[in-house]
Amino acid sequence: MKHIWSVLCKKTVIDQETNNISLLESLEELKFEIRDSKLKGKAINIPFDFELVSYWIKDDSSTSKFDSLIELYDSKKRKIAAFPGKINFPKDKKRLRTRLKIQGIGITENYGTYVFKVSVKREKDSKYSVVSEIPLDIKVEFKEAGSI
C-alpha cells in the first residue's frame, strides 16, 4: 500500500453514483475566540467537528492489512492525542480512502502550529512509519466575558 495524500477538512460528501469524494472547507488554520480570559495559558477542549481524509493505492505488496495511527502534536511537539485504527485493503480494489471523523480538538497552553502525523505499520513490521504530516495553525483570542 502506498500513501498518496492526506487532508484535513471540515466535512466530506461522497457522491453515490460516482463514488467520488468532495472535501469541503480544507483546514490550514483555525481561529477561536474564547470569552473567558481566565482560561488563557490553560489546556482547553474546543468542540469542533472535522475530518482527516487519506488516499491510498495498492502497490505490489501481498499484504492487505495495516495498522494505522494518527497522532496530534502541539506546537511544542508534545503528543496530545492518538487515534489507532486498522486499514483493510480489499483485494479487488486498486485504491482506498480512509476518513477519520474527529469531534473536538484539545489545545494545550501552547498555541501555534499543531501537526497531525499519519503512520502505518504492516503486519510483519514492528514499528510505525510516518507517511504524512499535516500542519494546522491554531490561533486563540481571549476576551473578557461580556465584551464585544
pLDDT band at 49 (very low <50, low <70, confident <90, very high): very high
Domain spans in the chain, listed from the N-terminal domain onward = 2-142
What's the pLDDT tens digit per position in 50-84? 999 999 998 876 678 889 999 999 999 999 999 99
Cell output for 125: 513490521
Contact 61, 11 (CB under 8 A): no
Q: Which residue has the cell 486499514?
A: 87
**Could you tell me the CATH superfamily of domain 2-142?**
Macroglobulin (MG2) domain (2.60.40.1930)
Mapped onto helix, strand or coil, the DSSP state of residue 39 is helix
Contact 139, 29 (CB under 8 A): yes
Instruction: Quote the pTM value.
Output: 0.88
Residues paired with 12 in a beta bridge = 23
What's the pLDDT tens digit per position in 97-140? 999 999 998 888 778 999 999 999 977 778 999 999 999 999 98
Determine the number of helices (DSSP H) and then strands (DSSP E) in the chain.
0, 9
